[in-house]
Amino acid sequence: MGCKAVHQLLLAFGLLNLYFYHVSAAFGSKKFRHPSKAHKAVVIQSEGWAQQRAGSPQTVSAQCTETEVIVSISSDMFGIRHPIQPSDLTLGGCGVTSQVSAPPTFVIEASLQGCDSNVTMFTDEIVYNFTLEYNPSSIPGIPIMRTNPAVVQIECHYPRNHNVSSNALNPTWVPYTSTISGEDILGFSLDIMNSDWSGPSSSNTFYLGDLINLQASVDNTNHVPLRIFVDNCIASPASDGSAPTYPFIGNHGCFTDAQLTNSSSQFITPRVASSTLQFELDAFRFFDVPTSSIFITCNLTVTLASQSIDSLNKACSYIPGLSMWTSVDGSDWVCNCCDTNCVAGLPGRKKAGKRKQRPRRSALTIPAEWEKTLVVGPLFLKRKPRPVVVEHLAAAEDQQSGSSVLVLGSVLGILALAASTFLGFFLYRKQISN
């Protein structure tokens, strides 16, 4: 009996151990998770580039982990003893994140689901594909170049039975709606609103001096709370964004129109909801452009409402009278970079030879669907101000005209009465004389 009890106890302990092993693998808990493994990385060079650097050592390499790809590029990328500039390298739009001094190497780290990666499903593996581009920039004042553009494909291969999500689950219970929000396509909208913000405007005609009310929003239905931002906005007389263009919001949420033109343009404070952002644009026309139409193109982004705002996710207005920037969400310090470059000033950049967690924009840590570019228009801008004064003068003229008619009527009435009196008196005298 005792041996049987011991055997059952050992079996229960083994099952319990197996259970916790699978739970740790499923939930990605730091307590139970095994060290990250390196996975197969493939570097595919374009034919023309390979011929240019034939015989030189490998200068582009990649390392694939469970959450990201790390690409290393030699400063002598082509093996021709002409170093390249790190600013000329991009991985799906993402730039160099660090540099190593010996040997001179540039490093780009990217989330598996960021930097415009493409995912391909095969029977036994999942492949993440990235495009490394080199576009040499010209040296100011020197009309020559010594390198050609190049494209390198980077592939990360993972077995299908492995969890390769770039956002590992935490060992806490997450509402089902948060999973849905990462998979659904969010409903973004950008609307021209009426003067009291109660609904969309019924007219698309504005006059110089008007404030154009715009409202950006995202549908929060079946999602965890979200906060929306207007990353940038550009105005153009044509729907395709052709020149001339006027960027009035830029640098990741800095409303620059008031600073540039001393206008009344601003974000409306406070928000009516985290999923809504309202702003006013002082009406304008394009100089020496025959058409009066204006199209507005804005790039909208969202983050979790629980996420703290930062220099890349903000809504900042410029107050001309105070010469200062203010944030709609209350932390004005995030607007300090509006006069410089909000990307260049990010903290946490890595020094040579050291590897830190690089600062990541929410676009790399949340689904790519949480960003949308929308266009509104055409808006028609009239050259003259709204005719309020003209209507007032017309009313005054009508009043004056009415007064003149009244006076003239009174005079005619008196003359008629006098004529009637004179005629009556004349007839009376004639009757007496007869």
- Taking the C-alpha atoms of residue 355 and residue 98, their distance in angstroms, rounded to an integer, is 8
- Taking the C-alpha atoms of residue 95 and residue 115, their distance in angstroms, rounded to an integer, is 9
Across residues 170-183, what is the average pLDDT?
42
Domain count, the chain: 3
Across residues 353-358, what is the average pLDDT?
40
CB 293 within 8 A of CB 313: no
Select, from the ranges 88-102, 166-180, 403-417, the one with the highest average predicted confidence (pLDDT): 88-102
Residue 110 has pLDDT above 70, yes or no: yes
Are residues 284 and 205 located together in one domain of the fold? yes
- Would you say residue 248 lies in a domain? yes
- Would you say residue 394 lies in a domain? no
Whole-number pLDDT of residue 173? 43
Kind of pairing between the strands at 266-267 and 118-121: unpaired
CA angle at 402 for the pair 401 and 403, rounded to the nearest 5°: 90
Q: Which amino acid is at 154?
A: I
Residue 324 has pLDDT above 70, yes or no: yes
Give the CATH number, domain containing residue 81.
2.60.40.3210
Residue 367 has pLDDT above 50, yes or no: yes
Torsion of CA 72, 76, 77, 82, to 10 degrees: 150
Mean of per-residue pLDDT scores for the chain:
75
- Would you say residue 293 lies in a domain? yes
- Taking the C-alpha atoms of residue 365 and residue 166, their distance in angstroms, rounded to an integer, is 8
Are residues 239 and 376 located together in one domain of the fold? yes
Tokens of 310: 């930062």
Are residues 328 and 279 located together in one domain of the fold? yes
**125-136 pLDDT, tens per residue?**
889 999 999 888
Q: How far is CA 30 from CA 33, 88, 165, in A?
A: 5, 37, 15
- Would you say residue 2 lies in a domain? yes
Are residues 146 and 288 located together in one domain of the fold? no
- Would you say residue 260 lies in a domain? yes
Residue 36 has pLDDT above 90, yes or no: no
- Taking the C-alpha atoms of residue 135 and residue 353, their distance in angstroms, rounded to an integer, is 25
CB 246 within 8 A of CB 286: yes
User: Which of 229, 276, 228 shows the shortest CA–CA distance to 254?
Assistant: 229
Are residues 71 and 148 located together in one domain of the fold? yes
Share of the chain above pLDDT 90, in %: 32
- Taking the C-alpha atoms of residue 34 and residue 213, their distance in angstroms, rounded to an integer, is 53
**259-301 pLDDT, tens per residue?**
998 888 999 999 999 999 999 999 888 887 877 889 999 999 9
Tokens of 326: 């203010």
Are residues 13 and 56 located together in one domain of the fold? no
Residue 113 has pLDDT above 60, yes or no: yes
Strand order in the sheet with 98-100: 60-64, 68-74, 105-111, 98-100
Confidence class of residue 393 from pLDDT cuts 50, 70 and 90?
very low
- Taking the C-alpha atoms of residue 385 and residue 208, their distance in angstroms, rounded to an integer, is 5
User: Which of 183, 273, 178, 184 shows the shortest CA–CA distance to 223?
Assistant: 178
Q: What are the E-state strand segments in 180-334? A: 188-193, 205-208, 211-218, 226-236, 246-250, 254-255, 266-267, 276-282, 293-304, 316-319, 324-327
Are residues 226 and 152 located together in one domain of the fold? no
Are residues 23 and 45 located together in one domain of the fold? no
User: Which of 247, 252, 255 shows the shortest CA–CA distance to 318?
Assistant: 255
- Would you say residue 393 lies in a domain? no
Count other C-beta atoms under 10 Å from residue 418's C-beta: 10
CB 250 within 8 A of CB 340: no
Are residues 1 and 147 located together in one domain of the fold? no
Look at the block and give the residue holding tokens 């950008």: 190
Are residues 247 and 293 located together in one domain of the fold? yes
Q: Which amino acid is at 26?
A: A
Whole-number pLDDT of residue 401? 54
Are residues 23 and 52 located together in one domain of the fold? no
What does the DSSP 8-state code read for residue 19? H
Whole-number pLDDT of residue 244? 86
Strand order in the sheet with 316-319: 205-208, 371-385, 293-304, 226-236, 246-250, 254-255, 316-319, 324-327
Residue 3 has pLDDT above 60, yes or no: no
- Would you say residue 166 lies in a domain? no
Q: What are the E-state strand segments in 274-315? A: 276-282, 293-304
User: Which of 268, 267, 178, 269 shows the shortest CA–CA distance to 220?
Assistant: 178
Kind of pairing between the strands at 371-385 and 205-208: parallel
**235-267 pLDDT, tens per residue?**
998 877 777 889 999 999 999 999 998 888 999
Q: How far is CA 284 from CA 258, 263, 280, 389, in A?
A: 12, 10, 12, 20
Tokens of 60: 């582009």
Identify the weakest region by mean pLDDT among 36-50, 66-80, 141-155, 336-350.
Answer: 36-50
- Would you say residue 107 lies in a domain? yes
- Taking the C-alpha atoms of residue 343 and residue 349, their distance in angstroms, rounded to an integer, is 11
State yes or no: cis peptide before 378, omega within 30 of 0: yes
Across residues 49-54, what is the average pLDDT?
50
Range of the domain at 144: 40-159
Q: Which amino acid is at 65?
A: T
Identify the weakest region by mean pLDDT among 14-23, 96-105, 207-216, 234-243.
Answer: 14-23
Give the CATH number, domain containing residue 378.
2.60.40.4100
Whole-number pLDDT of residue 131? 92
User: Which of 67, 42, 66 shows the shortest CA–CA distance to 364?
Assistant: 67
Are residues 66 and 132 located together in one domain of the fold? yes
